[in-house]
Amino acid sequence: MDKMSYTNAAKAWELAEQHARHMERPSLSEARNQAEQAGLQQGSQAQANLLRFIASAMNATSVITVGSGSIMETLELVEALGNDSLLTAVDSSSHGIGQIRRLFTSIADQGQVKTTLRAVNASPEAFLPRLNAESYDLIAVCGDATNYQPTFNQAARLLRGHGIVAFTDMCGTVSNDPDKASMMQELLKAVEEDDRFDSALTPTGTGLLLAVKR
């Protein structure tokens, strides 16, 4: 790609993100504002929309989110799931998991929720091994880069056939934080070399790595 192509790609990314924020439902805009005021910086709305679309297209009924950076993804996924569905939110930060519970309750009080939330204050390496095997359609991982590899270690066991694990902020591979960049590069290599999954790295948001269980 030449310089003009990169410029056009950046403009396309900006247009997609602006459109996603413009289309964001008022309840979710308020949730985003509350999360960020609480010090929990949220990511790309276009990325959250894509995860909601994937969950809807899969007819997902059981989803896991990991990390307090995933508040918007969690709320979008909650709205994508139907009756008798379960969303399990896992966060090692009590502050983050408390915010997820509060925002979920706020949306539920408006009669917009058909899903059960199970919010767990624990690290993924401590909690995920306790979950039943082959019981989940989608896992979305956000926030602290240390969440990523422990979640991937459990993904093949937890996911049903053709289930998807999604890792956000994968363009942390070009981050100014060398530790984060190293972790993301190692994860990308591990996912791409794992013959239990087919994977694709997309530029959505800050980089979304999708891996589907064979």
- C-alpha 14/C-alpha 202 separation (Å) is 15
pLDDT tens-digit profile of 127-179?
Answer: 999 999 999 999 999 888 899 999 999 999 999 999 999 999 898 656 678 88
pLDDT tens-digit profile of 7-52?
Answer: 777 788 788 888 877 787 777 777 777 777 887 777 788 898 999 9
| DSSP symbol at 135 | -
17-50: b (≥16 Cβ within 10 Å) or e? beebeeebeeebeebbeebeebebebbbbbbbbb
pLDDT tens-digit profile of 68-91?
Answer: 666 788 888 888 887 789 999 999
pLDDT in the model for residue 189: 96
Say what the pTM is. Answer: 0.89
Which domains are present in the chain?
Answer: 3-213 (3.40.50.150)
Calculate what percentage of the chain has a pLDDT beyond 70. Answer: 93
- C-alpha 106/C-alpha 79 separation (Å) is 13
- C-alpha 104/C-alpha 86 separation (Å) is 13
Mean pLDDT value across the chain: 87
Of 172, 169, 192, the closest CA to residue 182 belongs to: 172
Residue 207 vs residue 111, higher pLDDT: 207
Count H helices and E strands in the chain, helices first.
Answer: 8, 7
- C-alpha 99/C-alpha 75 separation (Å) is 11
